[in-house]
Structure 1
Amino acid sequence: MAAQETRKGVFYGLFAYTMWGCFPLYFALFEGVPAWEVVVHRVIWSCVFLAVIITFLQRWQPVRTALAQPAKLGFVLGCAVLIAVNWGVYIYAVESRQVLQASLGYFLTPLVNVGLGMLVLKESISRLQIVAVALATIAILYQLLLLGVVPWITLVLAFSFGTYGLLRKQVALDGLSGLFVETLLLLPVAILALAFVSYAGASHFSEDAAITLLLISSGAVTAIPLLAFAGAARRLRLSTVGFLMYINPTIQFLIALVVFSEPLSIEKLTSFIMIWVALGIYSWSAWTGRARTLPS
């Protein structure tokens, strides 16, 4: 029975991370629609879709409990703002064909999590993890010095999602309920933004049937991998989930090269290799640390 549940967990994890990895193919279909407008619709339709799912699963109690304590919603609001920023920058990266920088951001995220845990939560980390974070920092500085530009897409994606994870630790909500409350807090702003752009005659909604369906589908596309991830997280060890996480940016990296034909200079490739080595060091450290804590 345990083996069967583990297989299910691996399937759910593969499905979630593969779907997230293929997001560039999906958001590339919104060509001509500004990233911020896509985010507005993603918030609205995610909220609608999640409300339906929560009703179907009869999971309203955690939501009601959270909303009944407005004084504790500060962290949730912070999470909401960070996830909106992350969505917007990511969609912009896809629309402007900078998916390589986006994939690097998600490769970098675990190391940002380690750094934030050390600096903010005062968590103790191993020497190998310190080496991994230092190597990742050198990789970003390498891009800055040799290419002469700040890889802002990489940094914003990594730090917005890393900080999101940091704040999320302070919120006693599961992934599904948490994302619903986050989108619910953003909903008034999203509706106002939609009303404004519609009044100005600049809305792309209902302008074209295909775009309209894509905008509506963004709610399901946001929620479905989250539900699969939740199924994986319940059935798998954290180390296994962490290993599967690298599937997402790897697929994005390949899509950037093969589908979008983005140029990969020697400088960028060197930066990627440094990040990959840092992730290898981090993963080895996490795995050996876990092995030492297991009973003999």
Structure 2
Amino acid sequence: MKDARAGVLAMVLACTIWGLSPIYYKLLAHVGALEVLAHRTLWSLVFFAGVLTLQRRLGRLRAALSGWRQAVVIALAALMISTNWFLFIYSTQIGRNTETSLGYYIFPLVSVLLGVVVYKERLGRAQLVAVVLATVAVLVLTVGQGVTPWISLVIAGTFGIYGLLKKGLTVGPVVSVTAEVLILAPIALGWLWWLHSGGGAPEDGVFGQDWTTSGLMLLSGPLTALPLILFSYASQRVTMATVGLVQYLNPTLQFICAVAIFAEPFGPLHLAAFALIWAALALYTGAAWRQERARRRVSVTSAADARV
């Protein structure tokens, strides 16, 4: 019981950090999105490597990248997560967090579709209705605004593919993410070197120019690593249904940041689209919760029969 309670608390804390992170990236709106991404990559690597060193697991990085197939999968995962990070940072800077929150709401339904395409999984009735409602929500925004909400779709798609790639890895989440940022580090270093050597605009290469901006850049490491470690801790102690339910705290807080704090536009079309998404997620989560309860009942019955 204590483990489950600690797991839920860790999950809530992780999703709260993720959900409120737009406030942090808004403070770096004066820095180019690629420059912020490069620093996030490098300081995440420093933080993750430090954690693995303390855990005496740094040697597992070599094992994670030893086989070429797994190395390719990790490299593709790195591409997906860096694209996701960049788009999130960029969207925050240009005032489009409503779309990023929609993307993270859509993400679980995109994962369902990827499961159908890749693993030939069958959709239940509630899942099918949820996917249809999400599709209608996207169409409402596309037709009503005259433009496809590409930020939402790319956010959901890259994160969905990232999860799909991670599913096939044999290494733990902290080791795999460290390997991902290790692969991205030379590109990040090269970009920062180019900016600081005068290759970019005069306002680029801001690290070291003032304490506030430099300190915020350094903070990107623990801000990236801490929620992932908390999420990993939580996923080992609570049911997947609980994880699925609590993780909606992330896009909900992003949505509140966008509308209540950043005062982004939110008209009738947005309200209709979000209402459809929320209805879809209610159906999806309810079905997942029932499946989890049924699975646990079967497990308990099987254990009781085995004792008899």
Give the TM-score of the pair, scaled to structure 2: 0.93
The 4+ residue runs of structure 1 with deviation greater than 4 A are none
Contact 2:64 2:175 in 1 (8 A): no
1:217 Cα deviation from its structure 2 partner: 1.3
Once the two structures are superposed, residues 144-182 of structure 1 have per-residue CA deviations (whole angstroms, 9 ceiling, x without a partner) of: 001101111111100010110011111112111111000
What is aligned with 1:130?
A: 128
Partners of 2:27 and 2:2 in 1: CA distance: 37
Once the two structures are superposed, residues 110-130 of structure 1 have per-residue CA deviations (whole angstroms, 9 ceiling, x without a partner) of: 000001111122112212101
> Which among 143, 146, 170 is matched to residue 145 of structure 1?
143
Letter in 2 for 1:240: T
1:290 Cα deviation from its structure 2 partner: 2.3
5+ residue gaps, structure 2, are: 302-308
What is aligned with 1:173?
A: 171
Query: More displaced, 124-133 or 201-210?
Result: 201-210
What is aligned with 2:68?
A: 70
Partners of 2:109 and 2:40 in 1: CA distance: 28
Partners of 2:65 and 2:236 in 1: CA distance: 25
1:61 Cα deviation from its structure 2 partner: 4.0
> Which among 86, 89, 94 is matched to residue 88 of structure 1?
86
What is aligned with 2:185?
A: 187
> Which among 3, 10, 19 is matched to residue 12 of structure 1?
10
What is aligned with 2:262?
A: 260
Aligned residue for 2:236, secondary structure, equals helix
Partners of 1:133 and 1:75 in 2: CA distance: 27
Partners of 1:71 and 1:168 in 2: CA distance: 13
Partners of 1:251 and 1:33 in 2: CA distance: 24
What is aligned with 2:231?
A: 229
Partners of 2:66 and 2:290 in 1: CA distance: 43
1:142 Cα deviation from its structure 2 partner: 1.1
1:107 Cα deviation from its structure 2 partner: 0.5
Partners of 1:71 and 1:107 in 2: CA distance: 31
Partners of 2:294 and 2:235 in 1: CA distance: 22
> Which among 45, 58, 61 is matched to residue 60 of structure 1?
58
Aligned residue for 2:119, secondary structure, equals coil
Once the two structures are superposed, residues 18-57 of structure 1 have per-residue CA deviations (whole angstroms, 9 ceiling, x without a partner) of: 1100001111110211111100111111001111111011
Aligned residue for 2:26, secondary structure, equals helix
Letter in 2 for 1:224: L
Contact 2:64 2:176 in 1 (8 A): no
RMSD of aligned Cα (Å): 1.1
Report the number of matched residues: 294
1:198 Cα deviation from its structure 2 partner: 1.0
> Which among 243, 246, 257 is matched to residue 244 of structure 1?
246
1:60 Cα deviation from its structure 2 partner: 2.3
Give the TM-score of the pair, scaled to structure 1: 0.97
Letter in 1 for 2:40: R
Aligned residue for 1:30, secondary structure, equals coil
Letter in 1 for 2:30: G
Once the two structures are superposed, residues 65-117 of structure 1 have per-residue CA deviations (whole angstroms, 9 ceiling, x without a partner) of: 11222342111000000100000000111111111111000000000000111
Partners of 2:56 and 2:10 in 1: CA distance: 21
What is aligned with 1:25?
A: 23
Question: Which is greater in Rg?
Answer: 2
- After superposition, residues 202-221 of structure 1 pair within 5 angstroms as 202-221=204-223
Aligned residue for 2:16, secondary structure, equals helix
Letter in 1 for 2:107: T
